[in-house]
Structure 1
Amino acid sequence: MAKRNTITKQLILDSLKNSKSAVSQEILQKELGEAVDRATIYRVLNSFCEDGIVHKILGDDGKYYFAICVNCSEKKHKHNHFHFRCLSCGKIECLPNEMEVKLPEGYQSVNFNGFISGYCKDCSNSSLFKQQ
């Protein structure tokens, strides 16, 4: 059975695609305002995860963030990359290098959550950061 593409789903998807970084449900809620309620955003984001449209990132702040998938499908997510959160501007990015984690024989990986905090290129190059 095909899933319906509603106006609400399209609003959320457009917001994710236009974002320059991974976003939390809270960020989407602020951006969309009263056009979409919190429970609907949560349900749509989880649906997008199941469909291979976005991947979920557990941040070092305990919040989940969502980023558009590249080359993923419903059955095969490939996200063995680190995520980076800037301590200054708060932007969360998927870093481009895939990581290979060698597990002991008989172990099977289901999830990879690599997370790094620090200062992004823009913030570490800012004059305010250089003065410290």
Structure 2
Amino acid sequence: MKRRNTPTKEAVLDVLVKTGKAMSQDAIEQKIDIDINRATIYRVLNRFCDDGIVHRVVAEDGKQYFALCVKCEENQKPSHHFHFRCLKCDTIECLPVKVNFSIPDEYEVENVNCVLTGTCKECSHK
């Protein structure tokens, strides 16, 4: 179903495109130029997840981040990929590496949520 484009959707998408990294709802809210309430931003982000525009990353602290699915399609990046969370700047980015794991034959994996934590390359050089 084609969804109608709204100023709210455009504002949220614009923030994600400009940053190029996964962001929490709070971080997105701080960067949006128009007045939008928190619940509306969550609804937009959840619809973006449903529509395959963004994917949700749950960090080890339970906080949700949303990353633009720029390379998730057409096998440009594995659907099961690692994320890296910087403990200094609190950003999360998708890492372009395939997740290699093995599980017993009786199990079928539908989703993988792998978040590595440490210091990102930008913060390491500061």
Give the shorter-chain TM-score range. 0.7 to 0.9
Does the aligned pair in 2 maintain the 1:83–1:114 contact within 8 Å?
yes
Aligned residue number for residue 26 of structure 1: 26
Does the aligned pair in 2 maintain the 1:80–1:100 contact within 8 Å?
no
Aligned residue number for residue 88 of structure 1: 88
State which structure, 1 or 2, has the greater radius of gyration over its C-alpha atoms. 1
| d(CA) in 2 for partners of 1:65, 1:38 | 14
Correspondence 1:1-132 to 2 at 5 A: 1-32=1-32, 35-69=35-69, 70-72=71-73, 79-126=79-126
1:13-40 CA-partner distances (Å, limit 9, x unpaired): 1111111311000111111266211111
The offset of 1:62, in angstroms, is: 1.5
SS at match of 1:35: coil
SS at match of 2:32: helix
Does the aligned pair in 2 maintain the 1:53–1:72 contact within 8 Å?
no
The offset of 1:92, in angstroms, is: 1.1
The one-letter amino acid of 1:31's match is K
Distance 1:13 1:34, change over 3 A: closer
| d(CA) in 1 for partners of 2:105, 2:61 | 33
Aligned residue number for residue 129 of structure 1: none
State the aligned residue count. 122
* TM-score, normalised relative to structure 1: 0.83
Among all aligned residue pairs of Structure 1 and Structure 2, give the percentage whose two residues are the same amino acid: 47
| d(CA) in 1 for partners of 2:2, 2:92 | 32
In structure 2, stretches of 5+ residues that fail to align are: none
Structure 1 residue runs of 4 or more that deviate by more than 3 Å after TM superposition: none
Does the aligned pair in 1 maintain the 2:11–2:33 contact within 8 Å?
no
Does the aligned pair in 2 maintain the 1:17–1:68 contact within 8 Å?
yes
